[in-house]
């Protein structure tokens, strides 16, 4: 047990000696401050040495225990108050307990004092732990609710962006010989790309981003970012890396993890306008049951840590409580979207990790990211370079199922331009009707994953008996959490993420039509 501080309010020096003797039997013995009257109590409660427990006599000349209890609870409501008295009738004792006293001890039974103090301290710690866990749970629930909202907004916005960027691409092809109009179209594309980047950040916050996890070493990530990070820092900021030589691997999306470190480093830079020190540290960490018990949604086990620390302005508790909320920012207007830390939060949580913040106004900030340790070694990057080829054509029949009219009209335009015959349905029921009544062959169903009344997956299962040779390609403005719920990733079902270009859609449709098997 850690050493604690006792404030003793006792006008009798002889009794104070006896009380102190009992307290000294505890291990470790507490620090004891002794005051004799009301003025002493007020002064002790006002100075910086906060007591962990208060012991007070019932009868103090000109000042009673009841007044002391009221004063103590007004100043330090969470500190246990124990009455220590020579005599006390049952009615008065009950009145003290009802007023908030933790216990009462008779002076002829001081052997009970030590256990009573320890019990009161333990109850206080339990209440503090429960309060902290309740606050963490409420914060987690709030973030979950905001994440659901952000994910829904991002999905709807991705539908709009699919039409905007898609038609811009179509116009660019039609106006290839008109440089002036091509410049205007490129501005539309740039705006659409910026908007798409915002939706990706919202999806990251809501833990609905498509991730490509692999086994990586955080040291390699930090070293690879070193040159870029230094280019972002001013000359007055010292950048230091403290990397554990025996760091274990973790499983995460490399690009997303780089974004996490970059966002934290940029925030740290902005918190040090007059210069300072930015430190990136890695380490192996083991979280025990006690740590997990103090933090909601954290499991005990082996983790790897990357910490980003700055010596900047820090944050007060009010700001700290909101830093991961989307669009919350302390920066001046036009200096940030307020999505940087919310993106960090979403990526870490979606990677089964944990993020904690240590900060105080004027004392700098440390963000610690803990990711589960991986058993296997680091994977090599053997991805083949991307080769851009012309959009392929076809003459098959495609059943297009999309409830958003803008996306539906755009996808139909692209497919018909590439030579396909298109049957367009606005929901699953209309698509079923096509499958049952269309006289010719339907080669592919291109369907949104999230549809009213009948989902894309349910539709796929229903049409299997009617059109067993028809292939399927899913599309969605959501991401892998939706896919996981639908069991599509495990089944290997083909999928295209909105917003998509005409070129990408044509390639994905052709790829699905040309592959072996249904």
Q: What is the pLDDT of residues 446-490, one digit of tens each?
A: 999 888 888 888 999 899 888 999 999 998 876 544 444 455 555
Domain that holds residue 489: 397-514
DSSP 497-518: ESS--HHHHHHHHHHHHHSS--
- What is the rounded end-to-end Cα distance, in angstroms, of the chain? 66
Which one, of 55, 57, 66, lies nearest residue 33 by Cα? Answer: 55
Does some domain include residue 220? yes
List C-alpha distances in Å: 153 to 125, 329, 451, 478.
42, 20, 16, 10
How many domains would you assign to the chain?
A: 4
**Exposure string for 455-482, b = 16+ CB within 10 A, e = fewer:** bbbebbebbeeebeebbbbbbbbbbbbb
Which of 94, 126, 158 delimits the end of a domain?
A: 126
The parts of the chain modelled with pLDDT lower than 50 are 207, 382-388, 480-485
Residues 217 and 257 in one domain: yes
Instruction: Compute the 3-state secondary structure of the chain and give helix, strand, coil in percent, each to the nearest 5.
Output: 45, 20, 35
Residues 185 and 221 in one domain: no
d(CA 365, CA 313): 8
Which of 99, 126, 153 delimits the end of a domain?
A: 126
| Helical segments of 206-217, H only | none
> Residue 86: what pLDDT?
86
CATH number of the domain where residue 470 is located: 3.40.50.2300
> Residue 21: what pLDDT?
93
Residues 198 and 221 in one domain: no
List C-alpha distances in Å: 1 to 49, 94, 122.
19, 30, 10
d(CA 227, CA 374): 27
> Residue 117: what pLDDT?
93
List C-alpha distances in Å: 458 to 131, 407, 433, 508.
44, 21, 15, 22
Cβ neighbourhood burial of 494 (10 Å; 0-12, 13-18, 19+): middle
Does some domain include residue 496? yes
Does some domain include residue 381? no
> Residue 125: what pLDDT?
85
Which one, of 147, 192, 164, lies nearest residue 478 by Cα? Answer: 147
> Residue 159: what pLDDT?
79
Does some domain include residue 309? yes
pTM recorded for the entire structure: 0.47
Residues 218 and 289 in one domain: yes
Residues 342 and 222 in one domain: yes
Q: What is the pLDDT of residues 311-358, one digit of tens each?
A: 999 988 888 888 887 767 776 655 555 567 877 888 888 888 888 999
Q: Considering all CA atoms of the chain, what is the largest pairwise distance in Å, rounded to the nearest integer?
A: 105
d(CA 49, CA 372): 40
Which of 182, 205, 228 delimits the end of a domain?
A: 205
DSSP assigned state of 111: G
Non-local (6+) Cβ contacts of 90 within 8 A are none
Does some domain include residue 437? yes
Does some domain include residue 360? yes
> Residue 136: what pLDDT?
59
Tokens of 138: 């409420």
Residues 197 and 221 in one domain: no
Compute the radius of gyration of the chain from its Cα atoms.
32
> Residue 19: what pLDDT?
93
> Residue 188: what pLDDT?
87
């Amino acid at each position: 047990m850690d050493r604690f501080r006792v404030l003793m309010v006792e006008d009798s020096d002889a009794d104070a000696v006896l009380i102190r003797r009992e307290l000294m039997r505890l291990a470790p013995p507490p620090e004891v401050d002794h005051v004799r009257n009301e003025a002493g109590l007020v002064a002790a409660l006002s100075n910086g040495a906060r007591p962990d427990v208060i012991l007070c006599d019932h009868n103090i000349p000109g000042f009673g225990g009841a007044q002391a209890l009221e004063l103590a609870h007004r100043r330090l409501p969470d500190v246990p108050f124990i009455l220590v008295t020579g005599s006390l009738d049952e009615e008065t004792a009950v009145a003290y307990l009802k007023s908030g006293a933790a216990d009462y001890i008779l002076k002829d039974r001081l052997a009970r004092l030590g256990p009573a103090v320890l019990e009161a301290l333990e109850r206080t710690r339990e209440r503090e732990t429960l309060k902290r866990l309740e606050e963490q749970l409420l914060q987690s629930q709030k973030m979950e609710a905001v994440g659901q909202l952000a994910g829904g907004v991002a999905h709807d916005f991705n539908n709009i962006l699919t039409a905007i960027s898609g038609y811009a691409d179509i116009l660019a092809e039609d106006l290839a010989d008109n440089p002036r109009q091509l410049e205007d179209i490129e501005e539309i594309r740039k705006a659409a790309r910026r908007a798409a980047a915002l939706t990706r950040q919202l999806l990251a916050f809501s833990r609905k981003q498509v991730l490509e996890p692999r086994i990586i070493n955080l040291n390699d990530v930090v070293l690879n970012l070193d040159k870029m990070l230094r280019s972002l820092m001013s000359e007055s900021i010292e950048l230091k890396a403290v990397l554990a030589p025996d760091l274990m691997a973790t499983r995460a999306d490399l690009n997303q993890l780089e974004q996490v470190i970059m966002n934290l480093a940029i925030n740290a830079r902005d918190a040090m306008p007059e210069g300072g020190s930015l430190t990136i540290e890695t380490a192996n960490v083991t979280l025990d049951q006690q740590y997990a018990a103090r933090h909601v949604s954290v499991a005990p086990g082996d983790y790897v840590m990357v910490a980003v620390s700055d010596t900047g302005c820090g944050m007060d508790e009010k700001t700290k409580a909101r830093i991961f909320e989307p669009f919350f920012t302390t920066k001046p207007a036009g200096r940030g979207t307020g999505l940087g830390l919310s993106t960090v939060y979403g990526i870490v949580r979606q990677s089964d990790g944990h993020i904690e913040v240590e900060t105080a106004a004027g004392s700098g900030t440390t963000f610690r990211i803990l990711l589960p340790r991986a058993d296997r070694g680091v994977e090599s990057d053997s991805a083949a370079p991307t080769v851009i080829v012309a959009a392929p054509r076809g003459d098959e029949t495609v059943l297009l199922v999309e409830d958003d009219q803008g996306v539906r009209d755009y996808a139909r335009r692209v497919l018909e331009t590439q030579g396909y015959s298109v049957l367009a349905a606005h929901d699953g029921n209309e698509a079923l009707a096509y499958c049952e009544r269309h006289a010719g062959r339907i080669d592919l169903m291109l369907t949104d994953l999230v549809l009213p009344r009948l989902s894309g997956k349910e539709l796929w299962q229903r049409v299997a008996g009617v059109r067993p040779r028809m292939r399927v390609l899913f599309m969605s403005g959501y991401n892998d959490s939706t896919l996981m719920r639908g069991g599509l990733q495990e089944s290997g079902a083909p999928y295209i993420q909105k917003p998509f270009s005409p070129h990408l859609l044509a390639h994905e449709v052709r790829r699905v039509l040309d592959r072996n098997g249904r």
